[in-house]
Structure 1
Amino acid sequence: MRAIVTVIGKDRVGIIAGISNVLADNNVNILDINQTTLQDVFTMIMLVDISGLAIDFTKLADKLEKKGEELGLSVRIQHEDIFNSMHRI
């Protein structure tokens, strides 16, 4: 089972490490990552494997959102099928 993590906010040191640590601590594997900085705006999309998730998906979403708040970012996670449905033209 896979999910999409999106991260948006002002660029700063430690963003990737902070989000990756939350994922690793909860047995989530990063399959692919794409990040860019537009002037001082950081954006990142991660495709992650949640099949070995150690906690409830909602609790992971809460932890990622809390880490985002600590880093001054918007962090969201969605199941891949929901993400794909929302972005289908």
Structure 2
Amino acid sequence: MQEKALITVIGEDRVGIIAKVATLLAEANVNILDISQTITGGLFTMIMMVDITHCNLEFEALKKSLSDLGAQLNLKIEIQHENIFRAMHRI
């Protein structure tokens, strides 16, 4: 069974955001299942559904790596387990 997580990225648009996030995920052996990205008025937003089943990092280490990348790029990058996300947004 797949272990899925949701990644959100928000910040000022610039060249290479998707490439840098995807590179970090590939190096951690995380598979991107779905991606949605929008740019509105210079604001970049992206949501990714990823498979972390075979990730070579512990979840907290992956979370820190994404947060650190966000700090380098002046973006907010967060990751949440899919089941936690769904539980928080259940009506």
Q: TM-score range by the shorter chain?
A: over 0.9
For the aligned residue pairs, the C-alpha RMSD in angstroms reads: 0.6
Q: Which residue does the alignment assign to 1:62?
A: 64
Question: Aligned partner of 1:55: which letter?
Answer: L
Question: What's the TM-score, normalizing by structure 2?
Answer: 0.95
Runs of 4+ in 1 over 3 A off after TM superposition: none
Match of 1:24 among 18, 23, 26: 26
Instruction: Say if 2:53 is the partner of 1:51.
Output: yes
Partner in structure 2 of residue 71 of structure 1? 73
5+ residue gaps, structure 1: none
| 1:6 maps to which of 8, 17, 23 | 8
**May I ask how many residue pairs the two structures share in their alignment?**
89
- Using the TM superposition, give the Cα deviation of residue 55 of structure 1 relative to its aligned residue in structure 2, in angstroms: 1.0
Alignment of 1:31-42 (within 5 A): 31-42=33-44
Consecutive unaligned residues of structure 2, counting only runs of 5 or more, are: none
How far 1:86 sits from its partner (Å)?
1.4
CA distance in 1, matches of 2:88, 2:67: 20
Letter in 2 for 1:65: S
* Percent of matched pairs sharing the same residue: 53
CA drift of 1:32 comes to: 0.2
